[in-house]
Amino acid sequence: MERLKKLIDRISGKNRMNDIKYVTKLYKRSQLEVLALFLVIVAIVGGNYSYLVFKLKMTTDHIYTQKANEIAQKHLDEPAGFGNFDLMTIGLYSEWLQKEDKYFKLYKFGEYDDELKEMDEIGAMSDAYETETGAGFVAFRLFTPSAVKSVKKHIKELEKYDTLIIDLRDNTGGMLTSAEQMAEIFLDRGMTVYTKETRGKSVTVKTKKAASLKPQKIIILQNEWTASAAELFIMALKENLDNVTTVGVKSYGKGLGQNEYRLTGGYAFKLTAMRLLTPSGSCVDGKGIEPDIEYTKDDIISFADSL
């Protein structure tokens, strides 16, 4: 009798509304559970974002492959916990890493943004004037977007000089992309600026358009603090053009490139992620660039002008 009643109810649709209510209730509950799970995942990842980024980049981008993997396995595999990331872990690792990678740097509380701002201000301080013999003189303190913008703004003025003296003394490099853009001003389309070797791949950077400046003679001043992107700029011109003469003393010798990564709370870090090669495939790291004409006196600009 009971079975017959259930069958009649099912046929008549009396239980159908109950079934719909049950399914709706189950659906809403599952939505809440999924949302709760999502919030937990966000909290875990968000609280440990810096830890995850730092570990990922150290074990995938850092050029010192074996050392990075060894130390990451030893020091970065411990659980980070469910709260905010403990920056002391990065700090302790950074202290060890600086012994292996002298260019590694950990930025705290907005220091990275301050450094970028300062670099661009220094890059904008480039000097430009006409020498006593009628040559053009340009001094680049750092390769930054502002330096490139300044030169491009004065292309028409610089075109009139048959000889251009470029002062790179005390230029410690700056931004690799800005040095590349500056080299493009002097090099024709399809010329190699540099090659970067990262973990697992090699990328050759070539110019994409015709040169904007083609002086008959280029004289580059360098000293022991001419480094990194400035050295790549020198070699890009020297190995692609036959009218470049370098004057001064041997340059610093930095052929390694760094990548910067932002963390939470205004933190960031910079690590060595690439080996930089000149157009001919050589690397100046630890070697520097020997000048074509060695000159150590203070009147080096006048000397270059006499050439």
Number of Cβ atoms within 10 Å of the Cβ of 98: 13
Tokens of 298: 């203070």
Q: Look up tokens 């800005």; give the residue.
A: 178
Inter-residue contact 247 to 292 (CB < 8 Å):
yes
| CA–CA separation, 171 and 75 (whole Å) | 37
Inter-residue contact 286 to 253 (CB < 8 Å):
yes
Bridging pattern class, strands 217-222 and 201-206: unpaired
The CA-to-CA distance between both ends of the chain, in Å, stands at 117
Instruction: Please identify every residue annotated as catalytic.
Output: 228, 254
Q: What is the 3-state secondary structure (H, E, C) of 226-258?
A: CCCHHHHHHHHHHCCCCCEEEEECCCCCCCEEE
- If you write DSSP's letter for every residue of 128-148 in order, what string do you get? EEE-TTS-EEEE-SSB-HHHH
